[in-house]
């Protein structure tokens, strides 16, 4: 029994009282414990991407869900199995839509809180981190904060072109339970650009993707017997944390995002210079048409893997996506719309994307086109399942849009670069700026189909949202501005 | 040096509070070290002395050091002694003493381990008169003390005039003599005898008989867990009940017994679990003080867990769990003290707000080996008086009236007629299965409780053994308890007592394989339970009806499965725990009245749960062919709990003139860890292989569960109980608590209490009153706390995406916003009361009134989601509880043979939500939605400021329209409608009873004793769920309450309480089902007989008592409701035999 007395006295002797009361959880990790090591910072950074890759955010909804429904990219079955019918007619009071967009708002701001918590702790943790990790983690946390705010802005506020001084969204840059007031559209964009530029500066000296030895190619796939030898070095870094840079906000992804944001703010020079930085780096090779149209389902590269600057890693969502695009319960296209979309009766007669991404299917109600862009059959493929977030072709389109005023032929040349790689031999011929923009939009729609970007483009350009079958919806803020969640209005005093 | 070092270790930023704790902690430490050293000293019986001309006092000191014998004497006596020269080696104590007292005017005697010094020859020695020089004419009192049983003189008894601390001791002839200065009452105390008080009434020569045996040492004392306080001088509100009394009320369930003695200790009605022996009760003391947080899941009223309101349980100085108390053998209990108001509980600081239940177990006494044995035979039978179901022919009649055999689109009239006549054939052939009795039984449980104790004055031991089986009334369910305890106390001298208690307990609980009782209640009586060969059928019927709203899937088929089938399989659901507790205490009587006591305890509890669901069971009947490999499941869970609880208390207890002081200064430290793990596996091949090793795998997408949490508490307190002339009373307490549960910004909290009292009957103007024998007023107020939240809510924590790695490694993401400012709940309480005793305390009335305002209830605070979080937990919300308690005792007859008394304990508690957060207000809207969508017929828990937590919310109803049998509702604006709308839901009735309590009688005639106790609940209202679920919403394809046939509306003009019998639409919550809840239960009847000495001596026994107790025998209620939904209620009868050798 004296052991107990000894135990008690030694406990009392050796520990100071409040330290003794400071009990740390073990089945969860206290924030203060996590940021006590380099691994902790790395895990928190990975956590940002895991958080955003959930189905409610970029893992499904924001990449393949309601944003493309809003862009009128899908035919909605009258049975409305996935409850998008009201969304497609812009009924923003529909419960399904409200719940989806509110969850997006919550998820993205939660990820922003995660970023802010990393940024709060990074300076104290600087001594724990290698210079590379410090630059990468701080850079990516800043870039992520900007990336998410920029998407929230593009959803929940009027476009810059429409009203730059309209109250938009809160730009949250601290981790706290205090309410952040709304900023205007231009204020948000300024902050987005500020964070992205800071991220770019931090990543520039340290990001492994910038080294000449970082070669982008298909990963070697042990299960595929026919896989050719690969030159990829994307997984050769000794640190797992520094591999697969294109699944995280790497230097070029930040450049691409800067190009997007500058263009959104109508700062074409800065947009162009960032776009050209990506294009001129020649880091991202065009996909070999042979790989894109490979008849062997194990070898076909359906998403143009090597051209992705940034994508979300979602290996477990194969079944969810299969469901998402299954016919008749999912999102798909009718034949006429598909043909219109890819202009198969015009320049797109040989467009490889039409063939590879839309596969015909006949049922009792007619002939349809199911979306095969994300098909995984079998699941072994040349690349893991990804949700594309930013691809090379979009950077070309940005460069094209930004250089048209100064040099229309060069602008069209940028668009043609994409077209040629997709099997369209005819060069683009635009008659004036508006026609160019319309054609650019049509091209982008072919390329970025089912990637959640086209709605933003309609909105930025202020063009009526027209379905491939030709039904137009006037360009108004009733369509373009999603309402803030009720809880945000009520508890944030918006 | 040590102090400096320690001081330096405390961070600079710490507040003054922390320093206080620091100092208290150091005190504790030093005291503990002191304990350690004293315990190390040894004692010899032989004495070696070599002194020259030494004063006796010095020699006494030396003898005491060597032998451990204490000396008892009046210091003034020693002034008359001569100095002594002595030189002995290894002499016996007697030799040395004889030598010392040669030629002294003093002599000695040895009583136990005490050497009593007194004047050698009183007649020649007027020594004592010098004590009373100031008193002109002292009266000399003399007498003899004898043992009542043996008539032999009692040596060493203490005779003290009441009110004085000094007295004299009887000599070896039992004689004593001394001058009485003032006062007229003598107090005689002696170890081994009951204390006595004698009034002198002018007599100067006495023969005083002492009764052997000690009276309950804790009688008339309040045990706060840290100190003992005289009940008469205590201003706090405490109810003290002896183990013996508890046992008489209910030998099987200690908690239920306690409720009889104090209805404020309220065990929530559990209509779902009934008398399931494995169901732990929910308890609150003086009302509920918590709101639900987290998740925001909508709760039905019966889901509101009262566990956050649990009082704190303290056993022998350390905190124990509810389950420990639930499984404790009542025979081990010396007494239970329930502390309720702030003055009584404030020493427990942050754990005090919900009341404290202090349990003292029996400590071994000295003397020769004694064996106590207690045997109980317990018979339990189900109580089905509240179930009224239809018999076979009535049921079929009801089905016809409900329209089950009316043709419809899917089924032709011919098919329906065929189905009807099939059933009718069963009815006519005499099939009338009483399904209710199928899973039930009458059981016999037994308890053997053995306790043996013995030892001498210095070492005492006790060993207790327990074997108890508590089979439940549902076949196969049981809770078996095995216990072994060892108690050792070592008493090396007057000054030190060590005690160590080790107990090991194993409890095995088994749930009935028959499943839920509700499944049997709804089986149709015309179904046979077996086929013609006596095999239990699995599927007994297959309905094809197209009745609106009923049936599942296409064609409205409903396959009826026989719940009995499950019982033929090898499914099981078991839980067990093994608990080891070691408690060590050391007590050091430093000086007169000054005592240091330290208790250290360590508890380890390992629990396991095993649930196997056979692949053949009804649960998997509807699995599709491709799911066959997924049938059968096994859940294994384990939990390992470790608790260390230590405290040290320094008490000072002394009477100085008219001042009576009882002070305590102490500190307390506790750590608790729980580590649980669970696995769920599926896919069993057949019913015989029940081991988890035969499982096929884990369900896709599931992971093993695990949780680890730790809590730490450190507290220091000071408390004072003061009385002046036993008339004016004061209690004051402060406590400082530090807890790991608190937010990082608020790691420490202060609590306090103050109580004042006035013993008016001790005033002169009442002292001689022939009517009033007791009159006391008390009032107290204070601030206590409770921490009813899970650990780590105050901290921002990360969770790993363990089962979905990102391509660059595992990720972790923030769970919740940790509120670093999170605080404990603070309860400010006020309590006033009076004790009135009339006619020599034959009638005692004690009314009490209290008011408790709990501030800072934990509540979810909504955030705009742009903060990244939708809510966080904060202290926002206030709840008030007010109430009155009335205790009434009347001793109607008190004479040699007869003793008849009556008692009533009544309480009333009103609960009011004073302030709630927006999140909870929002919850009400969510509840409306749920009420509409999924739970239309159960009133849901809702929160409104100004309303009670027990309020029932529903749409007001005007009843059934006699014209058409439809229900007529009142909308919020007062208009009438036939359409139910969730937005019209308003508070309709309060479930709180106006009066709740117990009353009864105790009678004894010679050696017989009879107690009868009733409990009651009056003036409340309740929602009769049976009427809603089993009369109106009942699926007519299943058996229903008989009122569904007899009391529903059938034709225009019927004034019925229930809607049209053929109307099968859903009935929503409405005030129509609110009924008065006036209930009286005959809770306990106890009859005992003590055999006379002549009889039990022949059996070599020291006593023998046979007792018979009946519990929960009768229930009368205005509310006709099915009680015990998943497990029926039971009546129990216990025969117990109690003896000792």
Q: What does the pLDDT read at residue A442?
A: 93
Nearest beta carbon to residue A114 from set B25, B738, B813:
B813
Q: What's the rounded Cα separation, in Å, for the pair B947 and B291?
A: 13
Nearest beta carbon to residue A23 from set B669, B740, B798:
B740
Q: What does the pLDDT read at residue A227?
A: 52
Q: What does the pLDDT read at residue B35?
A: 41
A435 vs chain B: nearest CA distance in angstroms? 39
B811 vs A contacts (CB less than 8 Å): 43-51
| pLDDT tens track for B74-104 | 777 777 777 777 887 787 777 787 777 777 7
What mean pLDDT is predicted for residues B1069-1084? 89
Nearest beta carbon to residue B868 from set A7, A12, A110:
A110
B11 vs A contacts (CB less than 8 Å): 16, 18
Do you find a cis peptide bond into A493, omega within 30 degrees of 0?
no
Q: Is A102 helix (H, G, I), strand (E, B) or coil?
A: helix
Does the distance separating the beta carbons of B812 and A46 come in below 8 Å? yes
Spans in chain A with pLDDT lower than 50? 1-16
More confident residue, B796 or B31: B796
Residues forming beta bridges with residue B1020, ordered by sequence position = B1077
Phi, psi (rounded to 5 degrees) for A172: -90, 115
CB proximity A179 to B under 8 Å = yes
Across all residues in chain B, what is the average pLDDT?
81
Q: What does the pLDDT read at residue A330?
A: 81
Tell me the pLDDT band of B126, cut-offs 50, 70 and 90: very low
Lowest model confidence (mean pLDDT) among A238-247, B13-22, B445-454, B548-557: B548-557
Do you find a cis peptide bond into B879, omega within 30 degrees of 0?
no
Q: What's the rounded Cα separation, in Å, for the pair B273 and B169?
A: 61
B742 vs chain A: nearest CA distance in angstroms? 9
Residues forming beta bridges with residue B72, ordered by sequence position = B116
A399 vs chain B: nearest CA distance in angstroms? 30
Q: What tokens does A407 get?
A: 């040099």
Nearest CA-CA partner of B89 in B56, B40, B44, B41? B44
Q: What's the rounded Cα separation, in Å, for the pair B841 and B845?
A: 9
| pLDDT tens track for B828-878 | 999 999 989 888 788 999 999 999 898 888 777 788 889 988 888 888 788
Does the distance separating the beta carbons of B812 and A47 come in below 8 Å? yes
B669 vs A contacts (CB less than 8 Å): 8, 11-12
Q: What's the rounded Cα separation, in Å, for the pair A350 and B84?
A: 129
pLDDT of B3 over the 50 cut = no
Does the distance separating the beta carbons of B809 and A44 come in below 8 Å? no
Q: Which residues of A199-238 are buried (b: 16+ CB within 10 A; e: fewer)?
A: bbebbeebbbbbeeebebbbbebeebeebeeeeeebeebe
Tell me the pLDDT band of B133, cut-offs 50, 70 and 90: very low
| pLDDT tens track for B1013-1023 | 999 989 888 88
B794 vs A contacts (CB less than 8 Å): none
Q: What letter does residue B120 receive in the DSSP assignment?
A: S
A117 vs B contacts (CB less than 8 Å): 796, 814
Q: What's the rounded Cα separation, in Å, for the pair B632 and B685?
A: 8
For residue B413, how many other CB atoms are within 10 A of its CB?
11
Nearest CA-CA partner of B875 in B968, B774, B794, B764? B794
Q: Which residues of A30-54 are buried (b: 16+ CB within 10 A; e: fewer)?
A: bbbbbbbebebbbbbbbbbbbbbbb
Q: What's the rounded Cα separation, in Å, for the pair A492 and B292?
A: 24
CB proximity A435 to B under 8 Å = no
Tell me the pLDDT band of B123, cut-offs 50, 70 and 90: very low
Q: What does the pLDDT read at residue B24?
A: 47
Residues forming beta bridges with residue B373, ordered by sequence position = B450, B1139
Strands B748-759 and B772-786, how do they pair?
antiparallel
Nearest beta carbon to residue B22 from set A17, A40, A247:
A17
Residues forming beta bridges with residue B671, ordered by sequence position = B644, B712
Please report how many Cα atoms fall inside a 13 Å half-sphere around the Cα of residue B969, on the Cβ side: 23
Are the beta carbons of A286 and A393 closer than 8 angstroms? Answer: no
Q: What does the pLDDT read at residue A320?
A: 84
pLDDT of B29 over the 80 cut = no
Q: What's the rounded Cα separation, in Å, for the pair B998 and B259?
A: 8
Best interface-test mutation with B: which of A15, A16, A23 has the largest number of B CBs within 10 A? A23
A485 vs B contacts (CB less than 8 Å): 865
Best interface-test mutation with A: which of B10, B21, B38, B812 has the largest number of A CBs within 10 A? B812
ipTM field = 0.88
Nearest beta carbon to residue B808 from set A12, A179, A244:
A244
Best interface-test mutation with A: which of B800, B867, B929 has the largest number of A CBs within 10 A? B867
CB proximity A457 to B under 8 Å = no
Does the distance separating the beta carbons of B864 and A179 come in below 8 Å? yes
Q: What does the pLDDT read at residue B166?
A: 61
CB proximity A167 to B under 8 Å = no
Residue of A nearest to B918 (CA): A491
CB proximity A178 to B under 8 Å = yes
Q: What does the pLDDT read at residue A311?
A: 95
Q: What tokens does B521 get?
A: 């209640």
Does the distance separating the beta carbons of B798 and A29 come in below 8 Å? yes
Nearest beta carbon to residue B868 from set A26, A113, A243:
A113
More confident residue, A56 or B896: A56
CB proximity A1 to B under 8 Å = yes
List all residues 6 or more positions away from B641 whose beta carbon is below 8 Å from its beta carbon. Answer: B603, B604, B605, B606, B607, B672, B673, B674, B675
**Portion of chain B with pLDDT greater than 70, in percent:** 87
List all residues 6 or more positions away from B1024 whose beta carbon is below 8 Å from its beta carbon. Answer: B1073, B1074, B1075, B1119, B1120, B1121
CB proximity A182 to B under 8 Å = no
For residue A386, give the H/E element and its range.
Answer: strand A386-391
Does the distance separating the beta carbons of B818 and A46 come in below 8 Å? no
Helix axes A392-403, A268-281, angle to 10 degrees: 140
SS3 content of chain A, % helix, strand, coil (to 5): 50, 10, 40
CB proximity A79 to B under 8 Å = no
A440 vs chain B: nearest CA distance in angstroms? 34
| pLDDT tens track for B178-224 | 777 666 677 787 666 677 777 777 777 778 877 765 555 556 778 88
Residues forming beta bridges with residue B122, ordered by sequence position = none
CB proximity A37 to B under 8 Å = no
Are the beta carbons of B741 and A25 closer than 8 angstroms? Answer: no
Q: What does the pLDDT read at residue B254?
A: 85
CB proximity A483 to B under 8 Å = no
Residue of A nearest to B37 (CA): A2
**Portion of chain A with pLDDT greater than 90, in percent:** 59
B495 vs chain A: nearest CA distance in angstroms? 19
Give B466: exposed, middle or buried? Use CB within 10 Å, 0-12, 13-18, 19+: buried
pLDDT of B410 over the 90 cut = no
Lowest model confidence (mean pLDDT) among A268-277, B169-178, B770-779: B169-178
- Between A and B, how many residue pairs show a Cβ–Cβ distance under 8 A? 224
B746 vs A contacts (CB less than 8 Å): none
Q: What's the rounded Cα separation, in Å, for the pair A20 and A326?
A: 57
For residue B861, give the H/E element and its range.
Answer: strand B858-862
Q: What does the pLDDT read at residue A15?
A: 44
Best interface-test mutation with A: which of B8, B11, B813, B869 has the largest number of A CBs within 10 A? B813
Nearest CA-CA partner of A388 in A443, A285, A487, A312? A312
For residue B361, how many other CB atoms are within 10 A of its CB?
21
Q: What does the pLDDT read at residue B482?
A: 94
Tell me the pLDDT band of B10, cut-offs 50, 70 and 90: very low
Q: Which residues of A303-316 are buried (b: 16+ CB within 10 A; e: fewer)?
A: bbbbbbbbbbbbee
List all residues 6 or more positions away from A467 whose beta carbon is below 8 Å from its beta carbon. Answer: A72, A73, A337
Does the distance separating the beta carbons of A170 and B813 come in below 8 Å? no
Q: What does the pLDDT read at residue B183?
A: 62
What mean pLDDT is predicted for residues B1020-1031? 85
Lowest model confidence (mean pLDDT) among A75-79, B67-71, B76-80, B981-985: B76-80
Prediction pTM value: 0.74
B709 vs A contacts (CB less than 8 Å): 25-27
Q: What's the rounded Cα separation, in Å, for the pair B1041 and B1028?
A: 10
A170 vs chain B: nearest CA distance in angstroms? 7
A313 vs B contacts (CB less than 8 Å): 806-807
B792 vs A contacts (CB less than 8 Å): 25, 28, 30
Lowest model confidence (mean pLDDT) among B244-248, B523-527, B1094-1098: B1094-1098
Residues forming beta bridges with residue B1110, ordered by sequence position = B1085, B1133
Nearest beta carbon to residue B710 from set A23, A51, A384:
A23
CB proximity A34 to B under 8 Å = yes
Q: What does the pLDDT read at residue A194?
A: 96
Phi, psi (rounded to 5 degrees) for B653: -140, 105
A48 vs B contacts (CB less than 8 Å): 811, 813
Strands B995-1005 and B898-915, how do they pair?
antiparallel
């Amino acid at each position: 029994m004296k052991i107990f007395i000894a135990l008690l006295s030694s406990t009392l002797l050796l520990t100071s009282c409040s330290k003794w009361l400071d009990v740390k959880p073990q089945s969860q990790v206290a924030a203060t414990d996590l940021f006590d090591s380099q691994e902790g910072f790395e895990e928190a950074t990975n956590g940002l991407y895991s958080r955003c890759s959930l189905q409610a955010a970029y893992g499904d909804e924001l990449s393949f869900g309601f944003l493309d429904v809003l862009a009128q990219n899908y035919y909605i079955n009258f049975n409305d199995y996935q409850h998008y019918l009201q969304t497609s007619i812009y009924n923003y009071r529909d419960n399904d839509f409200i719940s989806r967009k509110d969850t997006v708002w919550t998820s993205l701001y939660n990820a922003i809180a995660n970023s802010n918590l990393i940024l709060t702790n990074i300076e104290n943790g600087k001594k724990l981190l290698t210079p590379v990790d410090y630059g990468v983690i701080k850079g990516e946390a800043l870039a992520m904060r900007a990336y998410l705010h920029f998407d929230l802005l593009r959803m929940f506020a009027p476009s810059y072109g429409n009203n730059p001084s309209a109250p938009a969204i809160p730009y949250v840059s601290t981790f706290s339970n205090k309410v952040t007031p709304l900023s205007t559209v231009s204020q948000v964009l300024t902050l987005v650009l500020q964070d992205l530029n800071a991220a770019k500066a931090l990543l520039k000296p340290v990001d492994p993707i910038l080294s000449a030895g970082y070669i982008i190619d298909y990963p070697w796939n042990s299960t595929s017997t026919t896989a050719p030898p690969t030159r990829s070095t994307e997984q050769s870094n000794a640190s797992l944390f520094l591999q697969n840079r294109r699944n995280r906000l790497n230097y070029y992804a930040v450049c691409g995002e800067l190009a997007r944001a500058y263009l959104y703010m109508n700062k074409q020079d800065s947009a162009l210079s960032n776009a050209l930085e990506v294009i001129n780096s020649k880091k991202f090779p065009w996909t070999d048409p042979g790989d894109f149209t490979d008849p062997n389902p194990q070898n076909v590269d359906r998403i143009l893997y090597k051209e992705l600057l940034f994508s979300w890693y979602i290996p477990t969502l194969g079944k969810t996506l299969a469901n998402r695009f299954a016919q008749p319960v999912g999102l798909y296209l009718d034949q006429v719309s598909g043909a219109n979309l890819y202009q198969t009766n015009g320049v797109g007669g040989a467009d490889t994307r039409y063939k590879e991404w839309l596969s015909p299917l006949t049922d009792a109600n007619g002939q349809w086109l199911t979306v095969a862009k994300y098909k995984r059959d079998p699941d072994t493929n040349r690349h893991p399942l990804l949700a594309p977030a930013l691809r090379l072709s979009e950077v070309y389109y940005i460069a094209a849009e930004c250089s048209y005023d100064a040099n229309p032929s060069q602008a069209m040349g940028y668009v043609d670069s994409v077209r040629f790689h997709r099997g369209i031999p005819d060069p683009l011929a635009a008659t004036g700026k508006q026609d160019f923009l319309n054609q650019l939009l049509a091209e982008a729609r072919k390329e970025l189909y089912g990637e959640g970007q086209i709605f933003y483009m309609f909105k930025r350009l202020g063009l009526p949202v027209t379905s491939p079958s030709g039904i137009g919806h006037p360009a108004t803020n009733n369509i373009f501005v999603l309402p803030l969640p009720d809880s945000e209005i009520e508890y944030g005093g918006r | 040096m040590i102090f400096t070092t320690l001081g330096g270790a405390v961070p600079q930023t710490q507040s003054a509070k922390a320093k206080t704790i620091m100092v208290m902690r150091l005190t504790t430490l030093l005291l503990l070290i002191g304990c350690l050293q004293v315990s190390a000293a040894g004692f010899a019986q032989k004495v070696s002395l070599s002194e020259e001309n030494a004063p006796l006092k010095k020699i006494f000191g030396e003898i005491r050091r060597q032998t451990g014998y204490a000396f008892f004497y009046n210091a003034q006596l020693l002034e008359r002694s001569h100095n002594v020269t002595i030189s002995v080696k290894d002499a016996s104590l007697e030799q040395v003493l004889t030598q010392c007292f040669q030629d002294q005017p003093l002599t000695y005697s040895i009583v136990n381990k005490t050497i009593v010094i007194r004047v050698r020859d009183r007649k020649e020695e007027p020594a004592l008169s010098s004590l009373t020089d100031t008193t002109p004419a002292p009266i000399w009192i003399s007498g003899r003390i004898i043992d009542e049983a043996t008539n032999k003189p009692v040596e060493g008894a203490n005779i003290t005039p009441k009110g004085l601390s000094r007295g004299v001791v009887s000599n070896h002839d039992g004689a004593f003599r001394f001058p009485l200065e003032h006062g007229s009452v003598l107090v005689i105390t002696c170890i081994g005898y009951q204390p006595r008080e004698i009034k002198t009434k002018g007599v100067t020569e006495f023969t005083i008989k002492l009764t052997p045996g000690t009276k309950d040492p804790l009688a008339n004392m309040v045990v706060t867990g840290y100190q003992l306080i005289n009940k008469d001088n205590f201003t706090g509100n405490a109810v003290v009940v002896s183990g013996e009394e508890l046992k008489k009320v209910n030998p099987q369930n200690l908690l239920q017994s306690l409720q009889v003695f104090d209805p404020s200790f309220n065990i929530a009605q559990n209509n779902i679990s009934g008398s399931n022996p494995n169901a732990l009760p929910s308890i609150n003391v003086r009302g509920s003080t918590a709101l639900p947080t987290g998740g925001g899941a909508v709760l039905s009223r019966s889901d509101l867990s009262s566990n956050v309101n649990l009082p704190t349980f303290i056993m022998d100085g350390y905190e124990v769990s509810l389950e420990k108390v639930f499984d404790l053998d009542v025979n081990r209990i010396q007494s239970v003290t329930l502390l309720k108001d702030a003055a009584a509980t404030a020493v427990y600081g942050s754990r005090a707000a919900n009341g404290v239940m202090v349990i003292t177990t029996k400590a071994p006494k000295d003397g020769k080996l004694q064996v106590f044995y207690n045997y109980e035979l317990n018979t339990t039978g189900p109580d089905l008086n509240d179930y009224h179901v239809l018999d076979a022919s009535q049921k079929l009649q009801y089905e016809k009236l409900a329209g089950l055999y009316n043709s419809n689109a899917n089924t032709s009239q011919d098919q329906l007629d065929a189905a009807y006549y099939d059933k009718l054939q069963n009815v006519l052939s005499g099939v009338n299965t009483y399904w209710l009795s199928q899973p039930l039984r009458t059981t016999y449980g037994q308890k053997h409780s053995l306790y043996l104790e013995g030892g001498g004055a210095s070492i005492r031991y006790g060993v207790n053994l327990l074997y108890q089986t508590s089979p439940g009334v549902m076949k196969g369910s049981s809770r078996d308890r095995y216990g072994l305890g060892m108690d050792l106390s070592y008493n090396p001298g007057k000054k030190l007592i060590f005690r160590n208690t080790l107990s090991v307990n194993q409890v095995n609980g088994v749930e009935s394989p028959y499943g839920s009782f509700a499944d049997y209640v709804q089986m149709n009586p015309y179904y046979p339970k077996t086929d013609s060969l006596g095999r239990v059928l699995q599927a007994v019927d297959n309905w094809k009806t197209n009745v609106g709203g009923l049936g599942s899937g296409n064609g409205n088929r409903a396959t009826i499965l026989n719940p009995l089938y499950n019982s033929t399989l090898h499914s099981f659901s078991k839980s067990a725990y093994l608990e080891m507790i070691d408690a060590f205490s050391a007590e050091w009587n430093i000086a007169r009245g000054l005592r240091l006591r330290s208790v250290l305890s360590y508890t380890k509890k390992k629990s396991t749960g095993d649930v196997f669901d056979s692949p053949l069971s009804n649960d998997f009947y509807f699995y599709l062919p491709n799911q066959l490999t997924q049938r059968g499941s096994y859940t294994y869970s384990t939990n390992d709990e470790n608790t260390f609880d230590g405290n040290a208390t320094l008490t000072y207890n002394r009477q100085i003139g008219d001042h009576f002081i009882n002070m305590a200064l102490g500190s307390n430290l506790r750590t608790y860890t729980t580590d649980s793990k669970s696995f769920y596996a599926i896919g069993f091949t057949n019913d015989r292989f029940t081991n988890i090793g035969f499982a096929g795998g884990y369900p896709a997408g599931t992971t093993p569960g695990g949780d680890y949490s730790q809590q730490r508490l450190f507290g220091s307190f000071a408390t004072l109980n003061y009385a002046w002339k036993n008339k004016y009373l004061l209690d004051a307490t402060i406590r400082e608590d530090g807890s790991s549960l608190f937010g990082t910004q608020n790691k420490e909290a202060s609590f306090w209490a103050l109580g004042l009292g006035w013993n008016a009957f001790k005033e002169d103007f009442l002292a001689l009153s022939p009517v009033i024998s007791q009159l006391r007023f008390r009032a107290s107020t204070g601030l206590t706390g409770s921490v009813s939240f899970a650990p780590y809510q105050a901290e921002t924590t990360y969770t790993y995406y363990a089962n979905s790695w990102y391509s660059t490694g595992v990720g972790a993401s923030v769970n919740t916003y940790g509120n670093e400012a999170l605080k404990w709940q603070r309860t400010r309480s006020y309590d006033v009361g009076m004790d009135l005793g009339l006619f020599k305390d034959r009638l005692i009335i004690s009314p009490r009134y209290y008011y408790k305002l709990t501030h800072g209830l934990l509540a979810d605070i909504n955030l705009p989601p742009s903060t990244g979080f939708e809510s966080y937990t904060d202290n926002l919300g206030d709840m008030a509880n007010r109430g009155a308690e009335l205790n009434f005792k009347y001793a109607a007859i008190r004479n040699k043979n007869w003793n008849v008394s009556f008692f009533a304990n009544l309480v009333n508690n009103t609960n009011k939500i004073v302030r709630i957060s927006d999140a909870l207000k929002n919850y009400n809207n969510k509840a409306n939605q749920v009420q509409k969508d999924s739970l239309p017929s159960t009133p849901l828990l809702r929160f409104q400021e100004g309303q009670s937590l027990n309020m029932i919310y529903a749409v007001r109803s005007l009843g059934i329209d006699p014209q058409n049998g439809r229900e007529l509702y009142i909308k919020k604006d007062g208009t009438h409608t036939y359409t139910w709308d969730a937005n019209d839901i308003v508070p309709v009735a309060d479930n709180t009873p106006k009066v709740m309590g117990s009353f009864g009688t105790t009678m004894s005639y010679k050696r017989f004793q009879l107690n009868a106790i009733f409990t009651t609940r009056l003036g409340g209202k309740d929602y009769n769920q049976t009427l809603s679920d089993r009369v109106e919403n009942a699926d007519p394809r299943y058996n229903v309450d008989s009122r569904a046939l007899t009391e529903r509306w059938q034709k225009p003009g019927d004034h019925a309480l229930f809607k049209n019998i053929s109307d099968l639409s859903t009935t929503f919550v409405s005030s129509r089902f609110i009924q008065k809840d006036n209930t009286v239960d005959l809770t306990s009847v106890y009859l005992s007989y003590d055999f006379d000495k002549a009889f039990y001596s022949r059996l070599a026994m020291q006593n023998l008592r046979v007792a018979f107790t009946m519990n929960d025998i009768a229930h009368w209620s205005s509310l006709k409701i099915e009680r015990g939904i998943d497990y029926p209620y039971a009546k129990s009868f216990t025969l117990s035999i109690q003896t000792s050798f």
